[in-house]
Structure 1
Amino acid sequence: MSTQGSSAPSSSGPSSALVADWYEQWIATYKVGAVQRVTLGKYTMALKRLREIAPDLRLADLDRMAYQRIINAYAVDHEKATVTDFHHCLKGALLDALDEGLLERDPTRKVVLKGKPPGKKKQKYLSVYELQSLLRVLKLDGEHNWDWCILIAAKTGLRFAEVLGLTPADFDFERQLLNVDKTWDYKGGGGFKPTKTGSSVRKVTIDWQMVGRLSVLTKDMPPDDPIFVPKDCTIYNSTVNGVLARRCKEAEVPVIGFHGLRHTHASMLLASGVSIASVSRRLGHASIDITQKVYLHVVKELESKDTDAIMRSMATLL
């Protein structure tokens, strides 16, 4: 979205400006250049739907009932979680409008978030046996194909953009370490860019089998070139997800997305008794709290096993 000619929203009192026009100015003023591209995309998509649902609604006419009608219209063809995201995108702007005196009352107060029933969710991760079956059907014939990306993600937990950002120089084969300090901007036309967060910069240990395979794969490559991104080639995550889906079907295991390999990796480590702190560092999470939240299902299962072990131990004391 171009910010040329846009200015900060006026604070001259209740406004006759269109809600959508004001929201667009708010995005240009407060979000462009301040949030990541993906996050900005959520705001601009919310703007597009707002214009479709309420093209003529003015700030002066925006009250709780009008806002609820916007949410209801959006909820017709979206699940509740998506409706909640849409609401949060709008709410921040409208609360700022309230602070600026453009609204007399908070139109988002006590909003009822609705949504259509959730569809069948794709399985997020594989079991140890399923992952072993998947890895056995990978075609690791020495070429730089997508199967190698699948192997690396399964054994390291790297994100897709992190795998694409790998260069031969990132591998320290003697110490069995993989340096993660950049990503590949596949959504923005290519090129290296920083990791998702500062905590995502990390060194990940790799097993000796990976060392043997990857040392051969990267032997004759320029040290600072991305391993899996051909020159002048646009990368789409749908491509690798398509390859992964075919491999899952060949292995006769549930079809998961590429990010599901990261979930599989983390779940396997936690189930194997690796501390959640170590898993959090390996994944590059900003805090252990994030790891606990994402993998709560595994943590709860492990806590249940711990409780059983504690009770058995206590029973032997008499």
Structure 2
Amino acid sequence: MTSSHSSLLNFSKNNIPGSSGHTVLPFPIKRVYAQSLRTVPIPQQLVMILKKLHKEQREEALKDGYRDPDNLVCRNDRHQVVTNETVNNTVKRLCRYAETKNVITSHGLRHSHGSMLLFAGVDIMAISRRLGHASIQITMRVYLHEVDEMKQRDDKKVINALNAL
């Protein structure tokens, strides 16, 4: 089970942020590391989607007489915890619908998220904390190819700046 999926399946109504836009990502049930429990900013649009999803799921569950003791946001229509396989199959369907050439997994989405943040100029330490890596060295190792690509791009900028003198 990937940490991205673990956080997803443990995400409860209590984790949905208020006006601050920050949420506490829940730790995996089976593997608890100090860095697994972390507070990360999420867009307000996502906050609204999560609140709506939870409200709809709670209403459907109550119709069935089910009361979720864990108050989880992501349950299937039989009130079961969503599996990694289900998440990956849904993403695969969405990729087909979007007519993309490549299919991605939930772990691939997590990696792409880290890459996008890195290319957007977010500090690697902030990315490491957001992803819950045990150390910045892990993040550097995982994203080394992006760091190398950024170095090459920055080297070109330096040369262009020096040539402009």
* Alpha-carbon distance in structure 2 between the residues aligned to 1:304 and 1:297: 11
Indicate conservation of the 8 Å contact 2:10/2:27, yes or no: yes
Indicate conservation of the 8 Å contact 2:9/2:82, yes or no: no
Change (3 A) 1:167 1:234: closer
Indicate conservation of the 8 Å contact 1:169/1:224, yes or no: no
Structure 1 residue 229 displacement after superposition: 3.1
* Alpha-carbon distance in structure 2 between the residues aligned to 1:280 and 1:303: 19
Residue by residue over 1:91-136, the C-alpha shift from the partner in whole angstroms, topping out at 9 and shown as x without a partner, is: xxxxxxxxxxxxxxxxxxxxxxxxxxxxxxxxxxxxxxxxxxxxxx
Q: Equivalent pairs: percent with the same residue?
A: 36
* Alpha-carbon distance in structure 2 between the residues aligned to 1:207 and 1:171: 11
Match of 1:226 among 61, 72, 79: 72
Residue by residue over 1:182-201, the C-alpha shift from the partner in whole angstroms, topping out at 9 and shown as x without a partner, is: 23xxxxxxxxx265421121
Residue by residue over 1:119-156, the C-alpha shift from the partner in whole angstroms, topping out at 9 and shown as x without a partner, is: xxxxxxxxxxxxxxxxxxxxxxxxxxxxxxxxxxxxxx
Change (3 A) 1:229 1:206: same
How does 1:1-318 map onto structure 2 within 5 Å? 159-183=4-28, 193=29, 196-219=32-55, 221=58, 224-229=70-75, 233=80, 235-253=82-100, 254-317=102-165
* Alpha-carbon distance in structure 2 between the residues aligned to 1:267 and 1:223: 36
Q: Residue type matched to 2:18 in 1?
A: F
Change (3 A) 1:223 1:270: farther
Q: Give ranges in structure 2 of 5+ residues lacking alignment.
A: 59-67
| TM-score normalised by length of structure 2 | 0.81
Change (3 A) 1:305 1:223: farther
Structure 1 residue 250 displacement after superposition: 1.0
Looking at both structures, which has the greater relative contact order when contacts are Cα pairs under 8 Å and sequence separation is at least 6? 2
* Alpha-carbon distance in structure 1 between the residues aligned to 2:114 and 2:69: 29
Q: Residue type matched to 1:286 in 2?
A: A
The total of aligned residue pairs comes to 152
Which stretch shifts more, 294-303 or 193-202? 193-202
Larger Rg: 1
* Alpha-carbon distance in structure 1 between the residues aligned to 2:127 and 2:154: 18
| TM-score normalised by length of structure 1 | 0.44
Indicate conservation of the 8 Å contact 2:115/2:146, yes or no: yes
Moved over 6 A (4+): none
Structure 1 residue 288 displacement after superposition: 0.8
Point out the structure with the larger helix share.
2
Q: Give ranges in structure 1 of 5+ residues lacking alignment.
A: 1-37, 39-157, 184-192
Indicate conservation of the 8 Å contact 1:245/1:256, yes or no: yes
Change (3 A) 1:236 1:215: closer
Q: Residue type matched to 2:74 in 1?
A: F
* Alpha-carbon distance in structure 2 between the residues aligned to 1:164 and 1:305: 38
Q: Residue type matched to 1:280 in 2?
A: S
Change (3 A) 1:170 1:194: farther
Q: Residue type matched to 2:118 in 1?
A: L
Q: Residue type matched to 2:158 in 1?
A: I
Indicate conservation of the 8 Å contact 1:181/1:195, yes or no: no
